[in-house]
Amino acid sequence: MRYLIAPLFALGLLSAAENKLGKPLAVKEPMPIATLIAHADDYVGKTVQVQGKIVEVCQEMGCWLDLTNDAGQKVRIKVTDGEIVFPKDGAGRAVVAEGKFSKRELTKEQAIDRAREEAQEKGAKFDPATVKGPLTVYQIQGTGAVIN
């Protein structure tokens, strides 16, 4: 029996470790995504923590994920390439993620380039006429996450 329990215990520890990505979470409680979106400018430059369901993950490098709340509001967690690699099969799983909240103002040309790149990543067709600009982009520069 001892020989059966030890490997199962080790496997459990390994599985738990795989769910923690990047640095340990420092903020005590996640903030509702709705609050972050409603008061976005108040949080720019600050470390925030959010919780939600993963709806999409970068399929090229695992360098970003989009998470949503029950109301369908989304926020993107972007990480430095290679620092954290989100599991490409993570859609549908719950996540708590943390990082610095940022705001970028994109010109129409930059917004088109961004949309073109995302379409290429997804293997989707792209029509530049569908992009309205300029565009304000808010996202979290991720430093750590726990995926359940």
Q: Is the pLDDT of residue 133 over 90?
A: no
DSSP code string of 38-64: HTHHHHTTSEEEEEEEEEEE-TTT--E
Nearest to 67 by CA among 79, 58, 75: 75
User: Would you say residue 92 lies in a domain?
Assistant: yes
Query: Which pLDDT belongs to residue 10?
Result: 40
Which residue segment(s) compose the domain that 25 sits in? 20-147
User: Would you say residue 2 lies in a domain?
Assistant: no
Query: Which pLDDT belongs to residue 75?
Result: 95
User: Would you say residue 11 lies in a domain?
Assistant: no
User: Would you say residue 9 lies in a domain?
Assistant: no
Summarised one tens digit per residue, pLDDT across range 57-101 is 998 889 999 999 999 999 999 999 889 999 999 999 999 999 999
CA distance 99 to 140: 6
Query: Which pLDDT belongs to residue 124?
Result: 87
CATH code where residue 31 lies? 2.40.50.140
User: Would you say residue 5 lies in a domain?
Assistant: no
Summarised one tens digit per residue, pLDDT across range 21-69 is 999 999 999 999 999 999 999 999 999 999 999 999 998 889 999 999 9
User: Would you say residue 13 lies in a domain?
Assistant: no
User: Would you say residue 12 lies in a domain?
Assistant: no
Query: Which pLDDT belongs to residue 17?
Result: 44
Number of domains in the chain: 1
